[in-house]
């Protein structure tokens, strides 16, 4: 269950996910130097709009995708505060795939597998990029890129996975349904 996990905040303190029982959660792996980094603005807008109704966004910076989060934890916090005025909780930089992945991500990926990037120019570009690196990328549940989001309802069920190419309006609609 989602509430069995503990993360490290960017300041090194423990964050028990059990503290978020009854909340709607979005887990997102982020990067400061990615083409999708402007999604921070939309995430912050969503946070401001729905936080008082029970939404929490948990930001987990990750440097696994073309090293697009090169800063240390303090640098990432500074970047997000200055450029996007984010107020939602930020964890320590961590891996979301591979032998050192956070156990939380092992669980999230087991609950919501990769279903594709959808349609459109960005979706096609992502598919082409990943196909060059791994012809069979569609066949595993790994996180494919920065700004993959998992939506968790108030009961702790992982009910959605949103790729970085998915519409933020679809994510917001999912949040509204959970609230």
The full set of domain ranges for the chain reads 2-178
Could you confirm whether domain 2-178 is CATH 3.40.228.10? no
Annotation marks residue 34 as catalytic: yes
For residue 49, pLDDT beyond 90: yes
For residue 160, pLDDT beyond 90: yes
The residue-averaged pLDDT of 8-28 equals 97
Rounded to the nearest integer, the mean pLDDT of the chain is 96
- pLDDT at res. 35: 94
The residue-averaged pLDDT of 39-60 equals 98
Residue 111's nearest CA partner among 55, 156, 178, 56 is 156
Candidates 34, 62, 80, 178; catalytic one: 34
The residue-averaged pLDDT of 41-47 equals 98
- pLDDT at res. 135: 86
The residue-averaged pLDDT of 6-19 equals 97
- Nearby residues of 5 by Cβ (< 8 Å), 6 or more positions away: 17, 102, 103, 104, 107
């Amino acid at each position: 269950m989602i509430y069995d996990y503990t993360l490290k905040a960017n300041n090194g303190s423990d964050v028990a996910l059990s503290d978020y029982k009854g909340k709607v959660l979005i887990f997102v792996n982020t990067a400061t130097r990615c083409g999708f980094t402007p999604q921070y603005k939309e995430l912050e807008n969503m946070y401001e709009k729905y936080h008082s109704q029970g939404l929490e966004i948990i930001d987990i910076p990750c440097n696994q995708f073309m090293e697009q989060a090169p800063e240390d934890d303090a640098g990432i916090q500074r970047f997000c505060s200055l450029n996007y005025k984010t107020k939602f909780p930020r964890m320590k930089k961590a891996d979301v795939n591979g032998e050192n992945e956070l156990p939380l991500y092992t669980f999230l990926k087991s609950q919501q597998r990769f279903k594709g990037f959808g349609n459109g120019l960005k979706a096609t570009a992502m598919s082409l990029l990943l196909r060059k690196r791994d012809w069979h990328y569609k066949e595993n549940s790994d996180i494919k890129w920065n700004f993959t989001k998992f939506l968790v309802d108030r009961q702790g069920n992982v009910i959605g996975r949103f790729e970085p190419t998915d519409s933020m309006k679809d994510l917001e609609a999912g949040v509204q349904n959970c609230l």
